[in-house]
Each structure stands twice: as C-alpha cells, then as structure tokens.
Structure 1
Amino acid sequence: MSPKVWLITGCSSGFGGLLVRAALKNGDKVVATARDPKKIDDLKALGAATLALDVCDTEENIRKAVADANAAYGRIDILVNNAAYILEGTVEESSASEVFKIYNTNVFGSLMVARAVLPYMRAQKSGTIANMGSIGGVRGTQGAGLYCSTKFAIAGITESLKSEVAHLGIDAVCIEPGYFRTNFLAPGHRTPTAARIADYDPVMEPIRNIFDTYDRAQPGDPERGAQLIVEILTKSGRVTGKEVPVRVPLGSDAIAFISAKAEETLQTMKEWKDLSSSTDHDDVKN
C-alpha cells in the first residue's frame, strides 16, 4: 500500500499532534496545521510538513492554505478536521458572540476546510474526509449544550456528505470519541461562558466539579486512540477488510454511552408508536 498524504487541523493540542505522530509512524506523509506553526515545530522535526491554517479565517485564505497543503506532496488523501473546543455554560448563559465563536470553530471551520479539499479529491477520484465528532453529538449534556450541538451538526453533515461523494470514490467518516486523557478538559481548552447565572448553579456546579475531577483521569489512552484512527482511515491493521461505518465510536465509554442512548430511543419508539402514528391519513397503511 502506497503512503497516504494527510492534512490535519488543530495539531497544537489534543488528538491533532498525536494523529500526526501515528500517521508518520505508519509511513505516511503529513501536512500538520495550526494557527501558529511555531507551536508545532516538534512535529516538523519528526518529518511533517507544517502550515499556518486558522479554520476561522476567510474562505480565500483557507483555500490558499489548502492549495499549499496539496502542493506539498501533490495530493491530499485524508483530511482530519480536528480543531474544536468546548464552551462550558448553560444555553441561557451563552452569549450570541460565544455561540458564533464555537460554531465558527467547530462547524463552519470544518465545513470551510472540507469544501476547500473536496475539489482535489474529486479530481483524483479518491480520498477520505474525517470529522472529529464526540459522544456529545449523541446526547446533549447540561453545561455543554452548545458544544454538543456542534457535534450533532458535524455528525449530520458527515452522514450527508458520505452519501454525496461515494460515487466519486470519496469517503466520509465521523469519529466519535468518549473521554480521552488529552488536554481537552484543561483550562484554555474548556472555555467558560462570561455570564454566570446563580439560578443555574445547582446544575452547573456538579458539571464543573466532574470536569475538574475527570481532567487527566479520563479512561481513554489518546495514543491508542490515535493509532486506531490511523488504522480506521487507512483501512489497515485491525481494520483491514472491515466496512467502516459513517459514525465510529472510540473508547469503551463511547460504546456504553451510545448503546444506552440507542436503547432509550428504541424504547421511546415502542411506547410512542401508536400515538405518533395516529397522525397519518386514513389511506396510509402502517
């Protein structure tokens, strides 16, 4: 199998840098990006090409950065939209500017980069677009509603995209990790809303305490997670011969979390089937 060429966003923290290392170890070529490429000089030293790419930049600048990424090795086989952060606060506490900022990074940025990469993948009739989702995209959680909603959006976009590009030889995958021991829950990555409303303290204080306690105590090993993601996106190693689903859970907690949600959904469908179906026209056969 010939080496793949990766383009990865948000490589200065979280899964980004670990994915770069895992892909290079796999013998692949990587274009690693960050808003400040000096922050990923360690990845450059390992053999990655590095570029400045801010997913919140203008469409023109993002397209130019992607063109430079494509020129680095003459193609892009795998795009990983990894740049994201969590906004900590209730729905009411989240200001309009804070809502726009998290959507701009977590959703609009991923869309912009994907749209910039797709013309190259269409031309070569191959490629994989991987969007980093989350178990938060399966169930909304108090205190993280805006973050969860961005991951719901990412999952929906990925499912639709997969159907749109399959006939072009392109695949789309949404990776949905549980909690991994990265810096994602650390200060600076977990951004609190500026507003604090005392009425919400009974639901927010437990969440803040859980985040603080869970930081650096998450069950997932990020290096093992990055290695599996590489195998998933290159369909190699343990994933050889497997059909990769459009939404892939990552971590034992993700399996438990998503399974519980699926069971609840099925139970709701059973309980509400007759009442919900009563709205059909009389000539509709159930």
Structure 2
Amino acid sequence: MTSQTPVWFITAASSGFGKYIALEALSRGHKVIASARSTSRIQDLAEKGADTVVLDVTSPLPEIKKVAKEANDKYGHITHLVNAAGYILAGAVEETSPQEDYDTFNTNVFGALNVSKAFLPYIRATEGEKTISNFGSIASWSGGPGYGLYCGTKWAISGISESMRAELEPFGIKVTVIEPGYFRTGFLNAGARVNSEQRIKAYDDTLVGQVRAGLDATDNNQPGDVIKGSKVIVDILTHSGKAEGKDIPERVALGSDSPPYIKGKLERTEALLKEWNAITTDTDHK
C-alpha cells in the first residue's frame, strides 16, 4: 500500500455496510467521501468527519462523472471505491414487472458499473495499490424462489467483479466482490425491501410464499453483526488487523453462514457434473 492517506468513496453510505465501512475507515484516520441520494441521510457521517455528496447511482453516467471528478479533486486521489448500493426485490419471476426487473438491475448492477466507469480514470492515476469492492451476496451463488431477480443481480456483480479483477490488476487495482450472508442491517426492513406490486395467489402455498414469510421473520434477527463485518472488510482492504500480511482475495465470503452456503453449492454442482459427465461431454467432432 502507498504511504499516502487512504481516501474512500462509498456509495449508499446512509445505512448498512456503506455506513459502517465509512465509520470504520474514519476511526482509523482515513478520509471518507460518503454518498447518498440526500446528504441529510448521511449527516451523522459528516459529524464524524466525512465529506458528504449527493449521488444517485442510477443517474446518467455524465452526472456520475461530475461527482467522481469533484471527489478526486477534493484530496487529489482515490484509493478505495466501495459500491454498496443495492436492494432486494421480493417476488416470483412471474410476479415482478418488467419495470421492477429493470429498476433492480439498474441499481444493483448498472449503478455499480457506471460508478466504477466514472471513478476508474482517477483510481488508475492514483499511485500504489488501490481497491474496488463490489457487493455481491451469498445469493451470488444459488438461486432461490421469491427472490430470483435479486439473485440475478448478485450473480452478475460477482461475474463482473472477477472480470474487472483480471482487467485492472496491471494498474495496481485489486477488485474484490464481498459476498455477505445474513447481517442485521435495515436491508429487509419495510422501507428498504421492495415487494413486487403484483402478488399471485397461486404462489402463496409454494416455496415463494414460505420465502415471503421467512424474510419477515428474518428481518432484524440476522446473525451477522454489521459493525464487526465492516471492520473485517476494512482490515482486508488495507492489509491490517486480522488480514495483515494477506493479499486481497478475489471474493470475501463474509459471515458465519456464507462459507457453508457457498460450499453447499459447490458440492451440488460437483455431484451434478459427475452424474451427467458421460452424456454431456460426448459432443466433440470425431
């Protein structure tokens, strides 16, 4: 890492991981530029010493580029970009509307893409090691009834992040995708979770209905502590604390439930490949 003061730009810093990563970085004496759709939502971060800016990640790219330039001009460099904006769209695929589908991809995927595009010229120009962190989820690994669109966005983020890592490694930029399990944030609160406007009764007695009820029961009862999780993230991205001496990984399986969930998907996939290998691989020209 370079000896210059780390400068963080964080999207969706009004709550959840965005907020607590900002607080953790500030507690270490780092500079933080926190963004949200309204600065009134991040006034508490301003009181802790963060610079605050308005940013809606679904804005047109030229508008995001203006924010990126102003952020870089503030301290002359950006060392850490955190794309934390995202939400869950709950509903069966048949239930969610095309507009709802687009809106969730627009925030969860296109938002992260455009913010990265806007900031990359400045991050590439920054000396030393830099990082870009994109938020995936354990839902990056396995689809599920009642939240298929959310899974789709998080699969996309993980795939894009892996690709960006290979593309940006020559510039000293480490890209990682953070894949948390269930953490006790406001993510599932009524004001944050988006439910499909259409609700088809036929799904009520299926797994979709069970998931709807499960999300309600899980809200505010998740096992993960977002403050502890954010400390681990900052440790990893700065090679400090518990992560001292370690490289920044391609993905961060965050939370006690994340590695077992991922391992389960790997095991199911390996079993599937073994079962069908003799049939599905006999397809080459002879």
Q: Please give the range of the TM-score, normalised by the shorter of the 2 chains.
A: over 0.9
Is it true that 1:172 corresponds to 2:172 in the alignment?
Answer: no
SS at match of 1:252: coil
Q: Counterpart amino acid of 2:183?
A: F
Aligned counterparts of 1:201 and 1:243: Cα–Cα separation in 2: 46
User: Residue type of the partner of 2:260?
Assistant: A
Q: How many residues align?
A: 282
The residue number in structure 2 matching 1:255 is 259
| Residue pair 1:14, 1:182 contacting (<8 A) in 2 also | yes
1:200 aligned onto 2:199: no
What does residue 17 of structure 1 align with? 19
Residue aligning to 1:210: 214
Which 5+ residue runs of structure 2 have no aligned equivalent?
none
- Which AA in structure 2 matches 1:260? G
Q: Report whether the alignment pairs 1:41 with 2:46.
A: no
Distance in structure 2 (CA, Å) of the matches to 1:117 and 1:213: 39
Q: Is the 8 A contact 1:49 1:72 kept in 2?
A: no
Gaps of 5+ in 1: none
The answer as to whether partners of 1:159 and 1:172 remain within 8 angstroms in 2 is yes
**CA offsets 1:74-115 (integer angstroms, 9 cap, x no match):** 111000000101001010111011011101100000000000
Aligned-residue offset at 1:256: 1.0
Q: 1:189 maps to which residue?
A: 192
Is contact 2:179–2:254 with CA below 8 Å preserved after alignment?
yes
Aligned to 2:236: 232
Structure-2 residue corresponding to 1:281: 285
Task: Give the alignment's TM-score, normalised by structure 1.
Answer: 0.96
Other-structure match for 2:268: 264
> What is the aligned-residue RMSD (CA, Å)?
1.1
Return the offset for 1:150: 0.2
| 1:153 match | 156
- Scaled by the length of structure 2, the TM-score of the pair is 0.96
Q: Displaced runs of 4+ in structure 1, greater than 6 A?
A: none
Amino acid corresponding to residue 204 of structure 1 in structure 2: V
Query: Which residue number corresponds to residue 247 of structure 2?
Result: 243
Identity %: 47
> Is 1:119 aligned with 2:113?
no
Q: Which residue of 1 aligns with 2:136?
A: 133
Report the Cα offset of residue 2 of structure 1: 4.1
8 A Cα contact 1:180 1:218, kept in partner: yes
1:222 offset after TM fit, Å? 0.5
1:105 correspondence with 2:68 = no
Aligned-partner Cα distance in 1 for 2:237–2:248: 9
